[in-house]
Amino acid sequence: VHSFHKLQAFFRRGIGSDAVAVHAETVRKLQCDEQNGHRALHILQEERRKQAQRSVLISCQVTTNEKKFLKYLSQHGDINKFFFYESYGLYAVVEFSSSESVASLLESSVIPSVSHECVVPFKSRLLWLRNHSLVDSGGQTSGLVCQAQTTTPINELIHRISTQESIEQQMMSLTEASQLTEENSRLRFLVCSLLEDIATAYFPECTITPFGSSVNGFGKLGCDLDMFLNLDNIKGRNMRLPKSGLSLEYQMKRANSERAVTQSILSVIGECVDQFGPGCVGVQKILNARCPLVRFSHQPSGFQCDLTANNRVAMKSTELLYLYGGLDARVRHLVFSVRCWARVHGITSSIPGAWITNFSLTMMVLFFLQRRNPPIIPTLDQLQQLAGPADKSIIDGNDCTFVSDFAKVQLQSNTETLEQLLSAFFEFYATFNFSRLSINIRKGKEQNKPEMSPLHILNPFETSLNISKNVNVTQLDRFVALCQESSWLSQQSRTLNPKKSTSGKNTAMPWGLAALLLPLQVDGIKGRKKKTRELASERIKSLLVSLKKKDSPTS
Ligand code: CTP
Ligand code: MG
């Protein structure tokens, strides 16, 4: 709330009273963002997990009659929420008010009898609607409203944001178009819940919850689904044996290391997912990675899934990012813009390799925001000092303690606009001394690099690790070159706002952030400066020419 009021203030100051009405909607969105941020992540996770347990995923036909479908399902109990979406077919997510309804629905479902194949009789909450009387006759589509689960194509996005009045609005509009929707978030938790049903067949008290960008507030539609198999909540762990008298202990298999245990569990669960998991295809067990995982694609949802186990530190970094994103609305808007910019210019990639990852980019944005004057967000060390006893967390000897209560974090009164921050971000990294310095959000200050990787970003909780160790010189050079060009371009693009240069005419010429998302040409490091400036200025010239044309009365 504290930072929200400040934001309101800076918006009013920044845009003048005539534009306040235009920004009312924006401010409302910011308010929602901030309010979401005020709920601790674990509370949100628990609520979503419960919803997911009461939900089913049903493959329908395009001709399905919504009313009849819902009436049929309601025989089993009240429906809290439902929605339809398309992904290799039409699907419905239906959440009941109680899990008894799900049990009743499953009780009445039948196992398919197939003529030339055999089925693995593994029952799950992924179902097929087969009752033909629920389908409208005539083979016509029933006009069901589907919720989009994918992002807006980049050209459409560029077009859309080009019609915005300010760079600030462009950035907010980009976040709005890219961020996970309520429905997509529900679907993510449902897929975890379906997986949990497989894992709990072996380990009845385990849980599977999403982490990473699915829940940290920085996820974009279409991002992968990182899943965390948690075996820590299996009862009887850390319980002390009584000092005297009899007591019983479980006899259990032992392995040499926790890693070996994780590998064997993931190997078995991965095998089950592969052999029995409905809708799970392309299962790969990547057990020798630093963090062993099972990768597969869940066809009915279209999610690329990474299942890991005992990855507790990653859960902490998820919570940390969630906190930073909720402290000040500018954090998320800047991260979304930078991530989108990086993706269109091939700085990040969906293929693993020497590219900079979204996680590293987010850290770079956070670090940049800590380096503003006054800082927009606190350092991790400061967040650690604000922690209460319940926040204490030591994982494998690493101190992962930091405050979880948003209300305890006092922000400083930085009133920079998103437009200023975007431009300053590019400038900051265009001139950053990557060869000597390391990015450290714990201290919020550059530190000397402890090792010679081209890009060094300290892992905030395992401080001996570099989260961007994979990045090679070529990729870092490309990032710097693109920052240089975008820094220069963003200073010019302000003057390129067609709203300012024309007499109020609504043209959709890419300008501001949209202009930064157009293909940029940057070559190797040699002779870069001169060349990119020429290229950028060429492009600016052609933009101006086409603007003038659009403006002229004869056009
Ligand atoms: N993580 C980490 N250290 C790394 C890489 C990842 O702690 N070197 C943790 C982070 O919490 C991260 C999560 O694992 O958020 C998932 O990693 P990844 O899928 O690579 O990143 P996301 O943040 O989920 O971003 P994306 O949208 O690209 O999937
Ligand atoms: Mg991810």
pLDDT of 553: 45
pLDDT of residue 554: 40
Nearest atom (ligand 1) to Cα of 362: 23
- Which ligand number lies closest to the CA of residue 314? 1
447 vs 460: CA distance, rounded Å: 13
CB 352 within 8 A of CB 31: no
pTM tops 0.80, yes or no: yes
pLDDT at position 244 = 87
DSSP per position, 354-402: SSPPHHHHHHHHHHHHHTSSS-SS--HHHHHHT--GGG--EETTEE---
Query: Nearest residue CA, atom 21 of ligand 1?
Result: 359
* Residue whose structure tokens are 């829940």: 215
Confidence of residue 136 (pLDDT cuts 50, 70, 90): low
Ligand 1 is surrounded, with C-beta below 6 A, by 211-213, 216, 219, 223-224, 226, 313-314, 317-318, 357-359, 459, 467
* SS3 category, 141: coil
Which residue CA neighbors atom 9 of ligand 1 most closely?
Answer: 314
**Cα 440 to Cα 151: distance, rounded to the nearest angstrom:** 32
- Confidence check: pLDDT of 316 > 80: yes
Query: How confident is residue 491, by pLDDT bands cut at 50, 70 and 90?
Result: confident
Estimate the crossing angle of helix 312-327 against helix 329-344, to 10 degrees. Answer: 110
Closest-CA residue, ligand 1 atom 4, reads 467
Ligand 1 center–CA 362 separation, angstroms: 10
* CB-based contacts of 101, cutoff 8 Å, min separation 6: 54, 76, 77, 78
- The helix-helix angle for 258-276 and 182-199 (nearest 10°) equals 100
What are residue 96's DSSP bridge partners? 79
Looking at the CA of 217, which ligand is closest? Answer: 1
Contact between residue 517 and residue 344 where contact means Cβ atoms under 8 Å apart: yes
Decide if pLDDT at 11 tops 60: no
Q: Give, using CA atoms, the residue closest to atom 20 of ligand 1.
A: 359
Ligand 2 geometric centre to CA of 225 (Å): 6
Assess: ipTM above 0.90. yes
Burial of 389 (0-12, 13-18, 19+ CB in 10 A): exposed
Ligand 1: which atom is nearest the Cα of residue 316? 11
**pLDDT tens per residue across span 29-68:** 443 455 454 678 999 999 999 999 999 999 998 888 899 9
Pocket probe for ligand 1: among 192, 216, 226, the residue whose CB has the most ligand atoms within 8 Å is: 226
Q: Please, which residues bridge with residue 296 across strands?
A: 305
Dihedral over alpha carbons 402, 172, 24, 145 (to 10 degrees)? -100
Nearest CA owner, ligand 1 atom 8:
467
Of the candidates 121, 116, 80, 115, the one whose C-alpha atom is nearest the C-alpha of residue 97 is 80
Question: For residue 527, what pLDDT is reported?
Answer: 45
Task: State the distance from the centre of ligand 1 to the C-alpha of 337, rounded, in angstroms.
Answer: 18
Q: Which residue has the higher pLDDT, 396 or 378?
A: 378
Burial class (CB in 10 A: 0-12, 13-18, 19+), 507: middle
Query: Model confidence over 433-480: pLDDT tens digits?
Result: 999 999 999 999 999 999 899 999 999 999 999 999 999 999 999 999
Q: What is the pLDDT of residue 237?
A: 83
Shortest-distance ligand to the CA of residue 361: 1
> What is the Å distance from ligand 1's center to 213 Cα?
7
**pLDDT of res. 498:** 63
Residue whose Cα lies nearest atom 7 of ligand 1: it is 314
Burial, 132: exposed, middle or buried (Cβ in 10 Å; 0-12, 13-18, 19+)? exposed
How does residue 15 score in pLDDT terms, banded at 50, 70 and 90? very low
Ligand 1 atom 15: the closest Cα is on which residue?
212
Q: Report residue 321's pLDDT band, with 50, 70 and 90 as the boundaries.
A: very high
Q: What is the mean pLDDT of residues 4-19?
A: 38
Average pLDDT, the chain: 86
Token pair in block for residue 502: 């024309």
State the pLDDT at residue 492. Answer: 80
What is the best residue among 291, 336, 359, 366 to mutate for testing ligand 1's pocket, by most ligand atoms within 8 Å of CB? 359
- Summarize pLDDT for 200-214 with one digit per residue, the tens: 999 999 999 999 999
The predicted-structure confidence for 151-197, as pLDDT tens digits, reads as follows: 889 999 999 999 999 999 999 999 999 999 999 999 999 999 999 99
Q: Residue 224 C-alpha to ligand 2 middle, in angstroms?
A: 5
Q: List pLDDT tens digits, range 273-306.
A: 999 999 999 999 999 999 999 999 999 999 999 9
Q: Supply the residue whose CA is at minimum distance from atom 13 of ligand 1.
A: 212
